[in-house]
Amino acid sequence: MLHDALAPLGISSSTDPLDLDAARRDLWPRATLELRDGRLPASPSAVAWPRSAHDVATLLQLAQRLGVPVVPYGAGSGVCGGAAGHEDALVIDLKRMNRLLGIDPHRGVAWAQPGLLGQHLEDLLARRGWRTAHSPSSIACSTVGGWAAARSAGQFSSRYGTFDDMMLAAAVETPTGRRLLGAWTPTGKPDLLPLISGSEGTLGVFTDVAMRIVPLAQRRWLRGLALPGLRQAWELMRALMQEGPAPFVLRLYDPIDTRIGGPARAARKAKAGPQSGSPLLERLRAAVERVPALREHLLELPLALPRLINRIADNLGGEEVLLVVGYDGTDAEVEAAVAQVAPLLEAGRDLGPDPGEHWHAHRHEVSYKLAPVFAGGAWADTMEVASTWSRLPALHEAVRAALGETTAVMAHFSHAYREGCSIYFSFAGRGGVEVYDATWAAGLKAAAAAGGTVTHHHGVGQLKAQAATREAAAAIRIWRDARQNLDPTGILNPGRLFDGDLPHAAGPPPPQGGPLFDLDPVDRLARVDARAPAPALQAALAATGHRLRLPVDRPLLAWLQAWRKGHLDPTEAPLFAVQARFPDGVAAAVGPAPRSAAGPDLRWGLLDAATVEWVQVPILPLDGQAAAPVAPQGPEPACLPPETAAWTD
């Protein structure tokens, strides 16, 4: 039926089993595990390849009329099962909407269609002297629309922000019509950009995206530093983020990753000289790689005894860890940054540029080495969580212990911000989906209990639906109300993102006192009454030796409600967390990190839809360097470029 209905539309589509196979799953390792064990995910009924926003609208209308579920599909690089597994669905594969529509060099903005692959976008921009500086490991196999829909973060997010920070405006098609978001929001209408970005295809289909771009870097400066342990390294990372100009790279490897990871090998080589590698070991490694049976058995033993392996790894020789730090930009910017942070960097032993350059050269390669692991009877996956600096050690310990019950685990810390940082766990185990599911359930539970967000940049999909639901709690009402408005018949990626009933419990109690409820000098955050007059709030903070990081000219709540993305440097996060109460007395507290990918950013919707009880905002010591004053409004709305104005090179 779907096939017959698609034919007259004049939009390319297929029901060929090969095309359906290609669209039935993304790169969720659980699906790979099932595939290896002979189980196929559910198949869609048809795939369509629209070429324009108008085509997308036509497809949505058809699906709505027929009551067919729709799965928007970028490049399928998602690792959580977001674009996968709907029986009888229509997959809208956006890869033929792959044009760069234009750039505005005066504003530093580029417009692109959603199906443009990341690397193609960078190549097109680079020819004109620009880049996004969004550098996800999946840059060769992910799309602009996928970045927007799943709140992606690239490897340079400490300086240039996550894709959420970069995206200035967007257009989406929904079953109830086209919506313009961000800087394109029509005057007087609420801005739905924070809500639709990260909605993973459940609220609309991105058809145009405007993003911030920056000039190509003239210069890159990278250093490896050896530090005596994780705690010293975290301190240095926090100081670099809070005191200095933001580095474009700040990556810390835990002791085991330091010993076996690629940059660490480069560090050892730099330390010991070029003759340090053992030819015997290298020959052994090459022999094992060549013989599959040997490779399988090599994996079998250690992964059968993960706790032992983790313990051996812990005792492999000291606590020393590798930190890679880097600055890029113009010659003058890099020189000034390096001069400013030089005293801080003295905390570590200088390993020279090699570890960083090695990482930079191979930064998009590492994640493609999983096939032999699955073929060898094991499985591997990654989990990226985030928290404030003060919760980071507990988060690391809790998640590592939970994952380490069933898998061999290592971690690195990247995506650092002023308030906190993300932890990226890589783990490998044996067994089927039961072990896989139990491992993930334990890891996600541990992350939530330690006060972290359950995902920093991989998104939710099916894998983290329950965990994201628990994290968002009653704030999910904001998403559900938007869904009823934008997609009343629920055809868009049904059953994804948030899972389970909405919580009915009253939620956290209202705070007492104010206007300052508490202050965290380590993470430089304060929980305050956002309705308090600005002078009263400033006085309360001054009494503790602090002030608001972003100066306000009116009550904080009014300032935040008027705020629009895009006018701040991407390193600034004006709102960290919020608690608000709905009219029926149910409260929701949304944190714990501004850079979370656990679904849409519900904090901004809460400011408007419920009575705000507190907000947590960035502060700095009175003698700290203030951020430049900012007006809450965003940039002038830019016009949508005509779809025909694309470059063809």
Ligand X SMILES: Cc1cc2nc3c(=O)[nH]c(=O)nc-3n(C[C@H](O)[C@H](O)[C@H](O)COP(=O)(O)OP(=O)(O)OC[C@H]3O[C@@H](n4cnc5c(N)ncnc54)[C@H](O)[C@@H]3O)c2cc1C
Residues that bind ligand X (CB under 6 A): 26-27, 71-79, 82-83, 94, 114, 136-138, 142-143, 145-147, 149-150, 152-153, 200-201, 205-206, 367, 457-459, 493
Distances (CA, A) of 117 to 83, 96, 192, 403: 16, 10, 25, 33
Beta carbon nearer to ligand X, 153 or 227:
153
Shortest distance, position 257 Cβ to ligand X, whole Å: 16
CB 592 within 8 A of CB 394: no
Structure tokens at 438: 């139990």
CB of 178 closer than 8 Å to CB of 57: yes
Q: How far is the CB of 634 from ligand X (least distance, A)?
A: 22
Handedness of CA 242, 243, 245, 248 (dihedral sign): negative
Nearer CB in complex with ligand X: 135/242: 135
Which candidate, 118, 157, 168, 158, places its Cα nearest to that of 140? Answer: 118
Widest CA span in the chain:
71
* Cα Rg of the chain (Å, integer): 24
Which residues neighbour 22 within 8 Å (Cβ) at sequence distance 6 or greater? 47
In the complex, minimum distance from the CB of residue 588 to ligand X, in angstroms, rounded to a whole number: 23
Where helices occur in 362-432 by DSSP H, the ranges are: 371-375, 392-404
Contacts of 408 (CB under 8 A, 6+ apart): 302, 303, 306, 309, 310, 313, 427, 428, 429
Q: Give me 89's structure tokens.
A: 């669905």
Minimum distance of ligand X from residue 43's CB (angstroms)? 16
Answer whether 146's CB lies under 8 Å from 94's CB: no
Specify the residue, 398 or 428, whose C-beta has the smaller distance to ligand X: 428
CB 426 within 8 A of CB 411: yes
| Nearer to ligand X (CB atom), residue 147 or residue 614 | 147
For ligand X, the closer of residues 146 and 355 by Cβ is 146
Q: How far is the CB of 458 from ligand X (least distance, A)?
A: 5
CA distance 49 to 572: 38
Q: Determine which helix (DSSP H) or strand (DSSP E) holds 621, and give its type and residue range.
A: strand 611-621
Give the dihedral of Cα atoms 273, 279, 284, 285; nearest 10 deg.
30
From the list 345, 337, 388, the residue with the least C-alpha distance to 521 is: 388
Residue closer to ligand X, measured from CB, 62 or 516: 62
CB of 24 to ligand X, least distance (A): 12
CB 49 → ligand X: shortest distance, Å?
13
Q: C-beta of 378: minimal distance to ligand X in Å?
A: 18
- 544 vs 128: CA distance, rounded Å: 49
User: Measured from the CB atom, is 135 or 616 closer to ligand X?
Assistant: 135
Which of residues 26 and 523 has its CB atom nearest to ligand X in the complex?
26
User: What is the Cα 520 distance to its own chain's centre?
Assistant: 25
Cβ closest to ligand X, residue 89 vs residue 325: 89
- The string of DSSP letters for 550-598 reads S--SS-HHHHHHH--TTSS-TT--S--EEEEE-TTS-EEEE-S-SS--S
Residue 367 Cβ, how far from ligand X at the closest point, in Å?
Answer: 3
Closest CA to 479 of 84, 196, 253: 196
576-591 core/surface letters (b: 16 or more CB in 10 A; e: else): bbbbbbbeeebbbbbb
The DSSP bridge partners found for residue 384 are 424
Give the whole-angstrom CA distance, residue 206 versus residue 179: 10
Q: Which is nearer to ligand X, 185 or 199 (CB)?
A: 199
Nearer to ligand X, 47 or 586 (CB): 47
Of 26 and 529, the one with the shorter C-beta distance to ligand X is 26
d(CA 477, CA 161): 28
Alpha carbon of residue 436 to chain centroid? 22
Instruction: Report helix, strand or coil for 499.
Output: coil
How far is residue 74's CA from residue 60's CA, in Å, rounded to a whole number? 16
CB atoms within 10 A of CB 508: 15
CB of 636 to ligand X, least distance (A): 26
Q: How far is the CB of 135 from ligand X (least distance, A)?
A: 8
Minimum CB separation from ligand X for residue 320, in Å? 26
Q: Which is nearer to ligand X, 171 or 610 (CB)?
A: 171
Of the pair 200, 328, the CB lying nearest ligand X is at 200
Query: Which residue type does 523 have?
Result: D
CB of 646 to ligand X, least distance (A): 17
- In the bound complex, what is the minimum distance in angstroms from residue 211's beta carbon to ligand X? 13
Cβ at position 27, least distance to ligand X in Å: 4
Measured CA to CA, the distance from residue 208 to residue 617 in angstroms comes to: 31
DSSP 410: E
Q: Which is nearer to ligand X, 47 or 540 (CB)?
A: 47
Distance CA 435, CA 440 (A): 9
- Residue 458 CB: number of other CB atoms within 10 A? 26
Select 117 or 541, whichever has its Cβ closest to ligand X: 117
In the complex, least distance from residue 457 CB atom to ligand X, rounded to whole angstroms:
4
